[in-house]
Chain A
Amino acid sequence: MQRKRKPLLIALILMIASAALGVGLARARHAAQPQSQPGSRLHPAFALLDINGQNVLQSGAPLSTMQTCGQCHDTDFIASHSFHTDLGLSDYQPGTGLDASPGAFGKWDPLTYRYLSQPGDERLDLGTPEWLMTVGLRHVGGGPAATARDGSALEALPPDAANPETAILNPDGSTQAWDWQQSGTIEMNCFLCHTANPDNEARTAAIQNGDFAWANTATLLSTGVVQQHGEELVWNPAAFDENGQLQKDYIFVQDPTNENCGLCHGVVDTHNDALVISDLSLHNPQTATTGQVISPQKIAESGMNIQGKDDLARSWDIHAERQLACTDCHFSLNNPAYAVRGNQPSHLLFDPRRLDTGEYLLRPDHNFARGQSAQYNLAPELKGTMRRCESCHDAATSHAGWLPYLERHMDEVACESCHIPQMYAPAIEAYDWTALTADGQPLKVYRGIAGGRGDVDTVTTLVTGFQPVLLPRQNIDGDTLLAPYNLITTWYWVYQDANGNTRPVRLADLDAAWFEGESYAPEVLAAFDNNGDNALDENELRLDSEAKQQVIAARLEALGLANVHIEGRVQPYSINHNVTEGQWAVRECTACHGANSRLSASIETAPYAPAGVQPEFAPSNVEYQGNLHINADGALVYTPNLQAEGLYVFGHSRLAWLDWLGALIFLGTLLAILAHSTLRYLASRKQTAHHGETQKVYMYSAYERLWHWLQVVAIVFLLLTGLVIHRPDLFGAFSFRNMVLVHNVLAAIMVLNAALALFYHLASGEIKGYIPRPRGFFDQAIVQARYYLGGIFRGEPHPFEKTPQRKFNPLQQITYFGLLNVLLPLQVITGALMWGAQRWTSVAEALGGLPWLAPFHSLIAWLLGTFIVAHVYLTTTAGPTVFSAIQAMIDGWEEVEL
């Protein structure tokens, strides 16, 4: 069996880990739960060093990861090659707008709300120290935790209450200088990601206390290497050997596991216990914003109250189930096992010149491969470095035999759109920071859970999940694909500060506007408390009236804030995890090719808009072609517009006016026939039967009859199947897939039949009958028209004799001339291009693509349908009796008047 081998190191680590798993299995019947020991025994013993390179056991000082791990690894390289560390610091650019960098350090995030103050800002919100204590709790250290915005060391900055880098906001609203010398800074924390049981709680607590220097040391509390003695962290001598190196049992270095990533990114659960999401706050940002859960468990086994979960024998995430780790896709960019090298000469399939494991371990790039998610500006240089679905999966093989138009589908729809059909965990829908709840929180709205307000509980409340909205995502290669997203709307107050810069109203100021002491200000209560219970519930808190809005705006202005107003923002959050295998993916054609196509399914982005403010879309690689509107219930709804997105989806898209036009022509013709035939009938009753002399003439050869009737069958069924494809919602009994198949096959038969018939007519000279003779044509046509409009009712003889050589009267000639030279060829060409849109994309595109071809095809179909009814009716006028012409087309012999 051919398999890709991971590099030796990983293999060895796994082998040793497996060996560890095997320990304690003396009795085979207890093999069920191998005990796991943390970490790798391959990693050599090492000493823990402090910032001066001294063994911590001697100095008692906090450890320095840069020194400790730097004994072997190039920690300067690692720290300087990591967006996880930098978080936008190196791109930090203060300005008038809200965003000062593309990363969490400097980018305005209305969900977390606290704003990293820029130098010179009128009011301090988050200084760098407090940024670390809030947003920075999910920052790995280094970067802005150690370095000032100008690149110097934070510890070199003198304490200065006026500098946001060295100041902190007191609860009373005053600012206070921060002494970095005293607090220390946080180095990049290797142990947070590279140990099995990092003590994230202790680390978080240390950061929140401002004990920055000890934060990384606190991460080791759970290992026993260091112990808590009162307020102090004290190194445990028992953990070290006589040389001052960590004992074997305390060595715990490993590749980052999914749990490590989950500490900061979202809910990860690889265990066999029943999964419960207990925290839907931004501590689990990926889960909170999208509902993504990384777990191999079956959803059915979840401990949550998920609607219909008994039937969900699928795992949360197929890749987690199949034992992929986060790092398998989000790999270190120079990891030789994964590295993708761009710009290879075209003759090279594989370049064997690459880092060996040792070189890689010396300088492992800590920039990780990433996709092209909606958090578009984040680490832009890393966009698209990840292997995507198609790098590992061969869609052509896996979809072979059931998904028609494969290339077409793949060109327009991202894999995720079908393979992430539904999210089964709740996600944030809206955060409304224009109001504050009694505990100082915004009004929170979750989607995918019954009620969905405030602090949701996934165990006691029914979790309904939600269907992501599909939005066109522009990839860096220029392709645009429909991909699944959650849309989150936020509202918040902004003001213009003394420098003319727009800044969000600080939480402290918002607090002051809403509250006096512990309770809502009396003025606020008077304006908001509709039911007079001296408390404000979620509904009362909404700024749903001018009056309410003005109370808060006035109170904010009273705090000295200028030009206060509400802004709203809609941010797309890309959904790429929680993929499922084909069995659970969207497989029904009509899920998209139908009236309620999920491609254009709306999504509620907020149940209300405070003060009616229309939010703006956050800039991203998503194209917002749709319509963001407030519906009758006051909810803010986004509806994609496929037409504007350049998509024509069979069975869903249509031009209503064109269908009306076609139907009018068709019905008009029917009405005309009805009137004409009624008149004929009435006229025939008044007249004595006209029995002119007739004789039987062999009018149609066998072949002529064959091709005619074959064409009749093909065209009639083409029209019928075409109608089903056009409106599958009206013809639910038919399988869309089969109708498309039948339509295509019939079209091929029709074209072949037409080509053979053309050949026959050319070769036999029969073609002459179809060509109108220029001389006297109009006169003759008028004569024929007069007959239809008058003579036919009086029983006059046909103005033109029908002979095998000259079967058609002038009106027929012009009709067939148009039909065969214009309508049919156009229908064939548009049809062929629609069928071949994925093969001859450029030709189809040159003719306007499906959005132009398809309506055209529909219009001609209406005209062809009209032709058929008219044609059939007119045959009844052609001979001495009503059915003589039809009879002739059946057996060849026609009764003609002499």
Chain B
Amino acid sequence: MSPSVLLLTLLALSFAGYQTGKRRSLKIAGGKISELHSLPSFYGLYASLWCLIPPLFIVVVWLSLESSWLANSVISGLPENLKVQSNSDRYVTLNDIKNVVSGTTLGTQTDPAILNAAEHYRDLQQISRGLLSVIAIALALAGIYFSSRRINKNHRARNAVERVMTGAMVLCSTIAIFTTIGIVSSVLFEAIQFFKSVPVTDFLFGLDWSPQTAMRADQVGSSGAFGAVPLFTGTLLVSLIAMIVAVPVGLMSAIYLSEFASPGFRAAAKPALEILAGIPTVVYGFFAALTVAPFVRDLGQQFGLTVSSESALAAGLVMGVMIIPFVSSLSDDVMNAVPQALRDGAYALGATQAETIRQVIFPAALPGIVGSILLAVSRAIGETMILVMAAGLAANLTFNPFEAVTTVTVQIVTLLVGDQEFDSPKTLAAFALGLVLFIVTLILNVYALHIVRKYREHYE
């Protein structure tokens, strides 16, 4: 029985459990529902939970252990010449076997040992799945039997069901924490592996980035250079250009929308501006690469400048446009939160609207605005697709916006897309870059959120 069929069977059984539990409680009550502790549907739910949760638990544990057990027993059954191998060869062989099993090789795989192993794999998998189905269904039936035995007039089914549901909610809310732990551990472990072969100082302060690894030991230029400084400067340069566009435009839009605009204009312009944030980044990337970059290049030529066809300027400009709504909507909220009394006070002193905004509201809202700008910076640093498509791959150590630069995110993508060995420094370097990216954005986010929250409390 395949897992999905098994799942459907379990669901059907749990529905049957619900009916059994409900019917049994009704029978016990003998028509007087008020004599029961809980409503009949809770007895039904009680039975269906008993029927569903234990088998589901078994299925999840079983399936998560199954693949490694299958791999081990299949590999140990291989003939000797395929057995003595390094870790990566083992992975390749296993992949071949799995491909034969899933039928994606279309008969191109001819090695009899592999075919035999695939047969073996299939048999073992069949046995394992069969056993699992029998156990799970038996457990489900036992659950129905056990729970309906326990149903009586005083049985507190509602409390039991509610306990389970509260537990489920608690479990769901911890997913956020597990995600963070998952991110940190997955990035950190690979990064530590990387720092075993490349010292941290070389990585953080090295000026040369050319992440190739040697195919043969005697190859020319066999050792790749993993100095990430050009990536950091590239990221900074592009983010800086983006912020030069986004901060003034975003702030002025926010000021106009929150202070000057009529309600009608505001209702139309605000969502229209927010469309900018909703456009997928890959669309911006295409726009930057095919429209903005050639335009910038031609414009530069008119002024006698040599602009690379993949310039930091084009990518940064487009990214700035993308970030405008982030700056504007957050600062808009922040400025709306400034108490009306401050505005009234300034008007009473004879200040014009613009003077009030510049000298009263803006300073009062400054912490919140700084917070929103920091959030936008973190967004710019983590932006990927625009840069992958428009900023290029050349790791130039330059602050010239007309040249091509590469960024941390672009390098993560180029290092990890395509087939790769998982333990080469080239792949691991991507995780080290990911670690840096995560730490930097984390610090920016925590600080910015802290400022914004403190600011909000200040005026509440």
Bound pair (A, B): no
